[in-house]
Amino acid sequence: MNHKKQLGIILFLVILVYSVIFIFGINKIFLSGDCVTYQGGDTSRCLGIAMFPDQFQALSLFSISLLPLLFLLIFTKEAVYLAWRKFALWFLPISALLIFSAPEYSGGGFIGMSYGFTREIMSMTLAVLFFVISLILIIYKSIKLRGK
C-alpha cells in the first residue's frame, strides 16, 4: 500500500479517536456539571477537562502529538515514513506498558516508581518524548535523503 494512503488512514483514525475523546470531555463538562462544581461556573477554564479527560488522558496526548507529525510525513519520501513507522511501532507499545504500569496516584513514598511518577506525568513525558524524537528522526532522514 502506498505510504500516503497509509498516512491518510492513520490520520483519519487519529482524528476520529480524538474527536470521540473530545466529545466525551464536552459531555462530561455540560451534562454532569463537573465544570460548574469544580471551576466556579467558568466554562472557559474547563477546556482542559474537555481536551484531556482523565480516563483518556494518555490517548488524547498521543493523538495530539501524532497530528502534526502525520501532516509532516505526508510531504516526505516513503523512506522517511518507513523509518518513522519502525520507530513508532516499538515506542508506542512500550509507552503503553509504562503508562499502565505507573500508579494512578502518587503514594508519596521513596520506593520504586510510587514517588511522583503517576500515569498523568508518565503520559505527558512520553508523549513529549515521542514527539521530539519523531521530529528529530523525520528531519534527520529527510536531510539524509534530500539528494537521492
pLDDT in tens, 105-122: 665 554 554 456 777 788
Dihedral over alpha carbons 123, 124, 126, 129 (to 10 degrees): 170
Could you tell me the residue range of the domain that residue 88 belongs to?
3-144
3-state secondary structure of 40: coil
- What are the start-end ranges of the H helices in the chain? 3-32, 34-39, 47-51, 57-74, 78-101, 119-144
* Per-residue model confidence (pLDDT) at position 45: 59
Whose CA is closest to 124, among 59, 47, 68, 41?
Answer: 59
**Whole-model pTM?**
0.76
Helix 119-144 and helix 78-101, axial crossing angle in degrees, nearest 10 = 170
3-state secondary structure of 127: helix
Residues 47-98 have pLDDT tens digits of 666 666 666 777 778 888 888 999 899 988 999 999 999 999 999 999 989 8
d(CA 65, CA 54): 17
In the chain, the number of structural domains is 1
